[in-house]
Amino acid sequence: MKRVINYSAGPAAIPVEVLEQARDEMLDWNGTGCSVMEVSHRGKEYDALHMETMDLFRELAGLPKDYHVLFTTGGASTQFMMLPWNFLGNGKDKQADYILTGNWAKAAAKEAKRYGKVTTPANMELEGEKFVAIPKQSELALNPAAEYVHYTSNNTVCGTQWQYIPDVKGKPLVCDMSSDIFSRPLDFTKFSMFYAGAQKNLGPSGVTVVAMKNDFLTKAIDDLPTMMSYKVFKDKQSMHNTPPCFSIYILNLTMKWLKKNGGLAAMGKINDQKQKLLYAAADNSAGFYQGLAKIDSRSWMNIDFKLPKAELDEAFIKAAKAAGIVQTKGYRSMGGIRLSAYNAVSLKDVQTTIQFMDDFRAKNS
């Protein structure tokens, strides 16, 4: 068996130790004689795991007691709908600000338009779904009538990332952190709500973690389908229906791995080294690897660049695969190469990749 260096944008690499533990516990989890997929979610073993996972999330994020942690399903995309439905309702008269910095930010705004009026403090789209920059604080034209301000902290497709938390003048701030959650320390108490599909930095697809401040949650409307209501998720500890038990189990193991390795502070240091090395390899390549994002907006998680000719992009992807470095193809709207260096991609993996990039350049320039 040979593990590859996996730059998939999501579902993405999971730490080997987590996979090994899951393998070892597959037939007999926690002395139950079953896997975690085969026990009742109402039983005491699963209940303990579920509550511990919420606590671990709270602990890693440093969340005070007035935050609720919810485990939802339907991916981050379902949050694009749940958020406006809960806070704008169906009347179409309420407003919300959506900052447009990438394809996913646009997708969130598109859903919100079904429920209310969407205003855009900044729209960074250049043309045809191309986004390369994050707006400056001074460029944000906030709507004083907005119920909340939504933004996407890391733009998975175009490889840009907010390097600051926007000041939204006291409005509830909501953030889609799907592709950079827990990659470095952050003051999570600045957010009224943040959410992330787990399948990049937190484990597998199937569970979406939503953290919500109580004073924001209480503003949610009540008349909603049961499974769309944040209040139901909170009141029922995310167990109104059967939760995605296996995904939550892997989320639990992934957060224990993160904690054991020094938590967000240690992870932030490693991710900083990784991104510095990768961008330096591009910047010092005499134009062979050209970064796609504006330098001050570059993502630590998704490193996008292109080679001088499209044929070389293809050759790079093929040669990388042969060298055991996989899923390096850029998203179709951006082209080129995308290296998604999430938490489970190690510094050593990145060093190996840089060696490959240098060799490839020497052979092809």
Ligand X SMILES: Cc1ncc(COP(=O)(O)O)c(C=O)c1O
For ligand X, the binding residues (CB under 6 A) are 10, 75-77, 104, 152, 156, 176, 178-179, 197
- The Cα–Cα gap between 5 and 255 comes to 21
Identity of the residue, 156 or 353, whose beta carbon is nearer to ligand X in the bound complex: 156
Closest distance of CB 244 from ligand X, Å: 12
From CA 35, how far away is CA 207, in angstroms rounded?
18
Q: Residue 123: left (phi > 0), alpha (psi -120 to 50), or beta?
A: beta
Secondary structure element (H or E) that encloses residue 269, with its range: helix 263-283
**Which residue, 8 or 275, is less far from ligand X as judged by CB?**
8
**Which CB atom, from 102 or from 121, has the smaller least distance to ligand X?**
102
Question: How big is the CA angle at 198 (ends 196 and 200), to the nearest 5 degrees?
Answer: 100
Minimum CB–partner distance for residue 74 and ligand X (Å): 7
Assign 3-state DSSP to the chain and report helix, strand, coil percentages, each to 5: 40, 15, 45
Q: Which is nearer to ligand X, 67 or 104 (CB)?
A: 104
* Nearest residue (CB) to ligand X, 218 versus 333: 333
Q: How far is the CB of 281 from ligand X (least distance, A)?
A: 24
Beta bridge partners of 298: 160
CA distance 349 to 110: 37
What is the C-alpha to C-alpha distance for residues 97 and 185, in angstroms, rounded to an integer? Answer: 25
Minimum CB distance to ligand X, residue 363 (Å): 33
Map residue 46 onto helix, strand or coil. Answer: helix
Please, which residue, 10 or 166, has the CB nearer to ligand X?
Answer: 10
The distance of closest approach from Cβ of residue 262 to ligand X in the complex, given in angstroms and rounded to an integer, is 25
Report the chain's C-alpha Rg in angstroms.
Answer: 21
Cis peptide before 11 (omega within 30 of 0): yes
CA–CA distance, 31 with 359 (Å, rounded to integer)? 50
DSSP state of 220: S
Indicate if 200 belongs to the active site: yes
DSSP assigned state of 221: -
348 is catalytic: no
130 is catalytic: no
Nearest distance from C-beta of residue 178 to ligand X, angstroms:
4
d(CA 29, CA 7): 30
Task: Select the residue whose beta carbon is closest to ligand X and give its number.
Answer: 75
**97, 176, 180, 304: the active-site residue:** 176
Query: Tokens for 11?
Result: 């579902």
Terminal Cα distance for the chain, rounded: 34
Strand (E) or helix (H) holding 290: strand 290-291
Min dist CB 314 to ligand X, Å, is 23
- Our CB check for ligand X shows the closer of 179 and 297 to be 179
Of 200, 213, 256, 306, the active-site residue reads: 200
Q: Which of 29, 104, 162, 257 is catalytic?
A: 104
Catalytic residues: 104, 176, 200
